[in-house]
Amino acid sequence: MAPPAGPSRSIIELARTERENPAVPKWLEKEYFNAIQELAKSGASEIMLTEEPEAVRSILSVMAIAKGLRTHGKFLVEYSEDELLDMESP
């Protein structure tokens, strides 16, 4: 079984394209992106068993990133539900 999808995995992938961080080396690309897909699949099977809101957000973040929804993944990992609700309020 793959390790649980934690916030650090999401943050690493989100940071990869920020500022002047290097691209994934060509020799590692396939395995790197396959690992993200595998984490998302693992998360999909675990999410309904997960009770902690932070863990749920982490899993959803990895799943969003795996589907190419990086902005959604970033919001899930960087903001709590309360913070998002505060943004929504006028």
Structure tokens belonging to residue 22: 């290097």
- Model pLDDT, residue 9: 63
Query: Does residue 31 sit within a domain?
Result: yes
**Does residue 2 form part of some domain?**
no
Residue 1 within a domain: no
Instruction: Domain of residue 37: give its range.
Output: 7-88
Whole-number pLDDT of residue 81: 87
Rounded average pLDDT over 14-40: 90
Pairwise CA distance, residues 36 & 87, whole Å: 29
For residue 79, what are the contacts with CB-CB under 8 A and spacing of at least 6?
Answer: 87
Taking the C-alpha atoms of residue 3 and residue 21, their distance in angstroms, rounded to an integer, is: 25
Mean pLDDT, rounded, of the chain: 86
* Count of structural domains within the chain: 1
Whether 10 shows a pLDDT value over 80: the answer reads no
Q: Above 60 in pLDDT, residue 35?
A: yes
pLDDT at 49 over 60: yes
Task: Name which of 45, 78, 50 is nearest 63 in CA terms.
Answer: 45
Q: How much is the pTM?
A: 0.80
Is 50 among the domain residues?
Answer: yes
